[in-house]
Amino acid sequence: MHARESCAGLRRTPASSLLAGQVAVHDLHAGSSIVAVEGRLQLHFRDRSLAWLGDAVPLTSITLLEGERFVTPQRGRVSISALRAAGASRTDSAAFIVLPPHAAPGAHGWLLLAVRHLAELVRTRWRRTV
C-alpha cells in the first residue's frame, strides 16, 4: 500500500453522527481506532479474555473527548454513545470515525510505508536508466 493510498482512505472514511442518547454498536478487529470528531463519546466493551465468565464480565467504560482516539486492544463489540454536556439541550450530538487497523499505523508502520515508497521510487528510476 502506498502512503498516498492510506491517506486517501482516511479522507474517504465517512463520519457517523449520534444524537445524545443514541447508541451505535460496532464489531471491531484488534487495533481498530475510534476517533471522536465532534462532541463527547462514551465507549463500552467487555474484555474478551474473560469471555468464559459470560455476562459476569464487567463492562469497561471509556470517555473520549473531541479530537481523542481510542485503539481497541482486542477484537470485540464496542457500543458507542453520545454524551450530553451538563446543562445542555437534548439536541447535543457527537460524530466519530471508525478506522480499520491498517489505516492508522504507528511509527513502525509509517517507517515501513516510507521504505516501500523509497524502494518503488528507486526501482522506477533504475528502469528508466536501463
Judging by DSSP bridges, how do beta strands 59-64 and 41-46 pair with one another?
antiparallel
pLDDT band at 109 (very low <50, low <70, confident <90, very high): low
Sign of CA dihedral 55, 58, 62, 63: positive
Cβ-based neighbour number of residue 56 at 10 Å: 8
Residue 112, by phi and psi: left (phi above 0), alpha (psi -120 to 50) or beta?
A: alpha
Query: Does 120 score more than 60 pLDDT?
Result: yes
| The pLDDT value given to residue 44 | 93
Cα separation of 72 and 75, whole Å? Answer: 7
- In this prediction, residue 90 carries a pLDDT of 55
pLDDT given at position 41: 92
The residue ranking higher by pLDDT, 130 or 9, is: 130
Flag whether pLDDT at 12 surpasses 70.
no
Instruction: Map out the domains of the chain as residue ranges.
Output: 3-129
Q: Where are the alpha helices (DSSP H) in the chain?
A: 3-12, 107-129
Dihedral of the alpha carbons of 80, 86, 88, 94, in degrees to the nearest 10: -20
Assigned superfamily of 3-129: Jelly Rolls (2.60.120.10)
| Model confidence pLDDT, tens digit, residues 18-72 | 888 889 999 999 988 898 888 899 999 988 888 788 778 888 899 999 888 999 9
DSSP state of 13: P
